Amino acid sequence: MHFSDHIIGITPGRDEDDKNYRMRIKAADWIRSAGLCPIMYDMCSDDEYIKKVCGISDGILFSGGGDILPCFYGEDGTDECNGIDRQRDLFELKLFAEARRQEIPILGICRGAQLIAVGLGGRLGRNIEGHSESTHTIFAAKNTELYRITDGRAEVNSYHHQFIASLPPCGIISAADENGTAEAAEAADGSFCVGVQWHPELDIHNKISIRIIERFAETVKIYHTLNINKN
């Protein structure tokens, strides 16, 4: 298998006693399927570490996992929250901010889409029925990355109970289900900062999964070339 020079950092989760990192192997498989080289980050929120790992990354995948602490989107308590990990939230939000500063391409899946929303200043809803272990149709908004990838609609899996409730003007709800529940979010500035609420990595041969990772790879390669020329 050929590996390019394009490094993609993947954020891990942790097991319940915080002794081991965990990452879905299929996420790495999905990255490799586009000829990209995946690495797993250490969950360290030190500023210098985050700048260094961003400095070697051509793209970042914010992976799935537990719920984000409500305090990070301006709410109190932890009612209806599962699998919370404050250290992961701190790390990923700082990583997101630095990646945006460096204009690194960003892709988020499930929790990762919610992380993008919170990082952009949005809010989450804590529970929604009918979205755990199901499939449904999503409809993409015109003039968005998701619309170009899906041609307007797609059948997707669903494994989440929290959801993106709102975004500020710097973000776009780029896809929703038939009831209007957000299924994808993007930055509004035209950069590749895209989060999908489903898990495309579970079926890397699915047409939409292929289109997502190929579009991500395109932007990663452009970023890599621009950085080489800049340095």
What is the set of active-site residues?
110, 199, 201
Give the pairing type, strands 13-14 and 21-22: antiparallel
Alpha carbon distance 111, 81 (integer Å): 12
List residues bridging with 185 in a β-sheet. Answer: 173, 195
**CA Rg, the chain, in Å?**
16
Q: What does the block give as tokens for 85?
A: 């990990």
Cα-based angle 53, 83, 58 (whole degrees, multiple of 5): 20
CA distance 4 to 32: 9
* CA-based nearest residue to 88, from 37, 156, 14: 14
User: Rounded distance, CA 182 to CA 16, Å?
Assistant: 29
Separation CA 161–CA 25 (nearest Å): 23
CA 83 – CA 13 distance, rounded (Å): 10
